[in-house]
Amino acid sequence: MGGTGTLKAVLFDRDGTLVVDVPYNGDPQLVRPMDGARAALLKIRGSGLATGVVSNQSGVARGLLTMDQVESVNRQVETVLGPFDVWEICPHGPEDGCECRKPAPGMILAACQTLGIMPNEAAFIGDIGADVQAATAAGSRSVLVPTPVTRQEEIDAAEVVALDLGHAVELLLGGRFAPAESAESAESAKRPAGRAAGQDPSA
């Protein structure tokens, strides 16, 4: 496909974006969709866009998870949210120096290659700065949907900030990227700053 920049796919971070973040989760029974996730995906799929998931899973490198457990959780995500066209998982830790772990762009580039699209034909929705940085490095659009673990500086640095997944989809499908307005709205949402001590926010 040509590099037109027309939106053809929406990629998502998994934990904290599509499903409630359970650190290093290897139990499918703990999978719970984020508010609005089903409706957002229904709207995207109904618009004819491809969907995908791009997720850091450093619990594998840390010995806290196996890839079989990760894949079991991913299957449950599809059970509750429907099938995705592409999955990209990074099992490495921060010290491994891989090219796939966000904020590196490797997984987004690989997902686009699998889908047969150019990176500028994809958008990536995530909840922390590493998601935005990975999309920027790949040449894709990004939308930050903050949660209580999102740092204020990550919100400030993001070009496009949405109140929730539904708002993010509205911005993408409407072609509207008005960061000042959406960032101001995000500021007013109930969003405690900071992360729990010891938590690896990008998993």
- State the SS3 of 150-175: CCHHHHHHCCCECCCHHHHHHHHHHC
The pLDDT assigned to 102 comes to 98
Q: Which among 13, 21, 127, 131 is annotated as catalytic?
A: 13
Q: Is 15 a catalytic residue?
A: yes
The predicted pLDDT at position 183 comes to: 37
- Cα–Cα distance for residue pair 57/87, rounded to 1 Å: 12
Superfamily of domain 9-182: HAD superfamily/HAD-like (3.40.50.1000)
The residues near 168 (Cβ < 8 Å, ≥ 6 apart) are: 40, 125, 143, 145, 162
Query: What distance, in Å, lies between the first and last C-alpha atoms of the chain?
Result: 33
The predicted structure's pLDDT at residue 175: 72
46 class by beta-carbon count within 10 Å (0-12 exposed, 13-18 middle, 19+ buried): exposed
Which pLDDT score, from 0 to 100, does residue 201 have? Answer: 53
pLDDT value of position 202: 62
Domain locations in the chain as residue ranges = 9-182
pLDDT at residue 190, rounded to an integer: 34
pLDDT in tens, the chain (203 residues): 334 569 999 999 999 999 999 999 999 999 999 999 999 999 999 999 999 999 999 999 999 999 999 999 999 999 999 999 999 999 999 999 999 999 999 999 999 999 999 999 999 999 999 999 999 999 999 999 999 999 999 999 999 999 999 999 999 998 744 333 333 444 443 333 334 333 455 67
131 is catalytic: no
Cα separation, 3 vs 121, whole angstroms: 7
pLDDT for position 203: 73
Peptide bond into 146 cis (omega under 30): no
